[in-house]
Structure 1
Amino acid sequence: MPPPVRRPPPSTGAVLRHDPGRRDFTSDNCSGAHPEVLSALLLANGGHQRSYGEDRYTAHLGDTFRRHFGPGAEVFPVFNGTGANVVALQAVTDRWGAAVCAGRAHVNQEEGGGPEHVAGLKLLGVPATDGKIGTASVEAVLETAEDQQHARPQVLSLTQATELGTCYTPEEVRVLAALAHAHGLAVHMDGARLANAAVSLDVPLSACTTDAGVDILSFGGTKNGLLLGECVVVLDPSRVSGTALLRKRTTQLASKMRFLSVQFEALLDGDLWHRNAAHANAMAKRLGSLLARVEGVTVTRPVEANSVFAVLPGTVLAALSRRYDLYLSDRLRNEARLMCSFDTTEEDVRDFAAAVARAAHAGEKDSRRP
C-alpha cells in the first residue's frame, strides 16, 4: 500500500494583521469564531449544494431548532442581528404599526434607525428598571393605542439578556406576554444573548421564549462563538406572516446559506451553546467580583449574564486606555461596560483586574501628594 500523499498547507495572499493573543472587554463581538464552528464550516465547504436555503444543512436546521423551541418553530437564518430584528418586527406589524421597547433597547438606540427606515415602524421607547420593562410602562403606552393620531402599538419587543446585562425570568416574560396578547400585540424577543440568559437562569432556551408566550425571536449566534449569523425563529406561526418574503426584501437572504446553517448546527445540536455561554458568564462573575474589591471602583449593575458595568475613576480609564479598548456606556459617570466572551480566560480577567487595581492605587497616591 503506497504511503499517504502529504499535501502542503493551503497558501493564501492574506496577511496576519493583528495580535492573536490580544484580549479586550469591549464587546463579545470582538472575539473570533469557536474552533468547533470553524470545523463545521470546513465540513460544509466541499462540493456543491443548492443555494438560497435549499441545501441539506438548512433543511436539517429546522429539526435542530424544534428540539429547543418546540414542534411549531420555523427558522430563517440571516446575516446579522439588526437584520433579524427588522425582519421579525415587520413580520408581526402592519405599515402603521409601532413596536413598544425599552428606551435603551438595542433596536431603539443602536441599530441606526433600521426598524424605522427599512420597516417603516415607529419605536415607542418606554422606561425600564435595570433594563427590564414592567407592566406599568406597557399599560401607559396602550392607553393611547386607539387614538388615530398615534402610531398603533402592535408588538412588544423584549431584549434577553438586556442592554444592562440583566435577565427577564420566565415568569416576567410570561406576565408581559399575557398583557401584550390581551391587547392584541405580538411579542418579539431580541435574543442576541439569549443563551447567556438561559444559562444564568438555569433554564432551557424555550423557558423564556416559547413556553412564556414569545411569538417571534431573533436568536443570536455571533456573540456566542459564531463567525457570523443570527436566526429569525417563528414560535407562533398564527401571529406571524411573510417571514421568508420579508427576509429577501430586507436583503437578508444568503445565497450560500449552508454556511450560516451549519454554524447553528454546531452550536445547538450538542451543548456548545451552553458551554460557551456558561464560560462567558462565569468570567463576568469573576471579573465583577475582582473589580468590586478595588477601592474607588463601583460595580453598578447586577452581574447576571456576561457583562460587567463598573464606574472607574478618570485616572484609571486613562491608564487602561494605553493597553485596552474600552466602551463607556455612560460617559458622564465614567461607567464602562465590560463584556466577556467564550474565549475570555481566567488570566485575561486577572490581568485586567490587576491593571485596574494598579491604576487606582497610583491615582490614589497622586491625589495625596501636596
Structure 2
Amino acid sequence: MSKAMTTTAHAAPRPDSLTTRLHDSTVRGFASDNYSGVHPEVLAALAAANEGHQVSYGEDDYTARLQELLEEHFGAGIECFPVFNGTGANVLSLQSLLPRWGAVVCASTAHINMDENGAPERIGGIKLLHVPTPDGKLTPELIDREAWGFGDEHRAQPLAVSITQTTELGTCYTPDEVRAIAEHAHSKGMKLHMDGARLANAAAHLGVPLRAFTRDAGVDILSFGGTKNGLLYGEVVVALNPDAAQGLVFLRKMNMQLASKMRFLSAQFIALLEGDLWLRSAAHANAMAARLRTAVETIDGVEPTQKTESNGVFAILPAGVADRLRESFRFYDWDEAAREVRWMCSFDTSEEDIDAFVAAIRRELAAHNEGKAAR
C-alpha cells in the first residue's frame, strides 16, 4: 500500500456537517414505531461488531450465534435468514411456501395487501385473496371465504394463509386462535405464514414465550420484526417448519435481501434476543399505549375503535381536531373518511410524552367544543 493510500485510510474524521445533527431531538410523535431511534444497547452491539474482519454473506460468527439464539426461543431444527426489511421478509417467506400458481389468503387490512405497494404480487408473483375482518384477525370461517376452488385450473390455488401478529389494528391473536387457524389451514393442504413485525409486542401482551403462539401453535414460517422494536434496520425470516419452505437460500438472493455484511444485521438481533431487551422494549411500548388509552377514554369526543392489545391506539376524533393536533404531534389517519386515527408508541416513548399529548388532545377538543357552542 502506498504512503498516500495509508494516510487517506487513517485520516481523522472532518468536523463538518457530516457529524451535525440535522433534526430537533426534542420533537416527539405518535405516527409510527419506526420514527424512534435505535436502542442504545443495539448501537453498542453494532459498535462491538464493527472491529476487525468477518466472513461476508452470513458465514460470520454473529449469524451463527443468532441461529443458536433463535433455536433457544423457537426450538431446534429451525432455520434463520436475516434480511433488510419487513416487505422483503414477507415476500421471501410467502414465495418459499408456494408454487407459481399458489395464492395467499389474508385479511384485507394486512400489510402485505395494503402497505407493500403490490410487492407480494409484482415481485413475488403471488395472488392475494383478502378477506374483510372487523378487527384485523382471520378465523377459520373467514379463511373459508377464499379457501375454495382447489383443483380448478381457472382459479389461483389458495395454498397459504398469512396472519399478522399483532394485527394492523393493534389486536392480538391468542395461542389458541393461531392454533385453530393452523389446524384448519393444514387440514386443507395450506401452509401458515405469520407477519411478526410486532411479534415482541404480542408476547408482552400475552405473557407467554415467543414459540407458544408461533411454532407450538403450528406456524410454518415467520417474519420476525426488529425495526419496530429498537433496531436500526433488519428482520429475520425464521423457517419454523423447514420442510414447508423451499429454496429460501436462493430466494433471499433473488429478492435482493442478502446482506454482504450480515454480521451487522445479526448483531442487532443478538442484542435484542440474548437477554430480555426484546421483551423490555415491547412491554414498555405496550404500557405507554395502555396509558394513552386509559387517558383518552375519559375525554369526551374521543371514541376508541379497537382493543388496545399492543403499542397502538385507534380512535375517532371530531372533524378538524386531528389536523390541529398534528401541528404539535405527528400521527396518521387510519380511515380518513371515518375520521379514525392511529397513535403508536415505541420503546422510547415516555410517560411525559403521553401526558403532553393527552393535554394537547384535551385542549383541542375544548377549543372544538367552544367553537361549536359559539355557532
- TM beyond 0.5: yes
Cα deviation, residue 317, structure 1: 1.4
**Helix, strand or coil for the counterpart of 1:18?**
coil
Counterpart residue identity of residue 310, structure 1: A
Question: Does 1:129 find its partner at 2:134?
Answer: yes
Cα deviation, residue 12, structure 1: 5.8
Per the alignment, residue 52 of structure 1 pairs with 57
Cα deviation, residue 11, structure 1: 4.7
2:343 to 329, 338, 355: 338
Per the alignment, residue 109 of structure 1 pairs with 114
C-alpha distance in 1 between matches for 2:17 and 2:56: 27
RMSD: 1.2
Per the alignment, residue 180 of structure 2 pairs with 175
Counterpart residue identity of residue 37, structure 1: V
C-alpha distance in 2 between matches for 1:77 and 1:12: 34
Cα deviation, residue 118, structure 1: 0.9
C-alpha distance in 2 between matches for 1:284 and 1:331: 21
**Number of residues of Structure 1 aligned to a counterpart in Structure 2:** 363
C-alpha distance in 1 between matches for 2:285 and 2:194: 21
CA contact (8 A) 2:105 2:147 kept: no
Per the alignment, residue 315 of structure 2 pairs with 310
Matches within 5 A, 1:267-278: 267-278=272-283
Per the alignment, residue 140 of structure 1 pairs with 145
C-alpha distance in 2 between matches for 1:205 and 1:313: 39
TM, length-normalised to structure 2 = 0.95
Cα deviation, residue 10, structure 1: 8.2
Question: Does 1:205 find its partner at 2:205?
Answer: no
Residue by residue, what CA displacement relative to the aligned partner does 1:1-34 show, whole Å, maximum 9, x if unpaired? xxxxxxx998564221111111100000000000
Cα deviation, residue 313, structure 1: 1.4
Counterpart residue identity of residue 189, structure 1: M
Per the alignment, residue 163 of structure 1 pairs with 168
**Helix, strand or coil for the counterpart of 2:314?**
strand
Percent identity over paired residues: 55
C-alpha distance in 2 between matches for 1:201 and 1:209: 12
CA contact (8 A) 1:210 1:235 kept: yes
Residue by residue, what CA displacement relative to the aligned partner does 1:210-231 show, whole Å, maximum 9, x if unpaired? 0000000000000000000000
Per the alignment, residue 19 of structure 1 pairs with 24
Matches within 5 A, 1:41-120: 41-120=46-125
Counterpart residue identity of residue 104, structure 1: T
TM, length-normalised to structure 1 = 0.96
Residue by residue, what CA displacement relative to the aligned partner does 1:107-130 show, whole Å, maximum 9, x if unpaired? 011000000011100000012231
Per the alignment, residue 362 of structure 1 pairs with 367
**Helix, strand or coil for the counterpart of 1:120?**
coil
Per the alignment, residue 256 of structure 2 pairs with 251
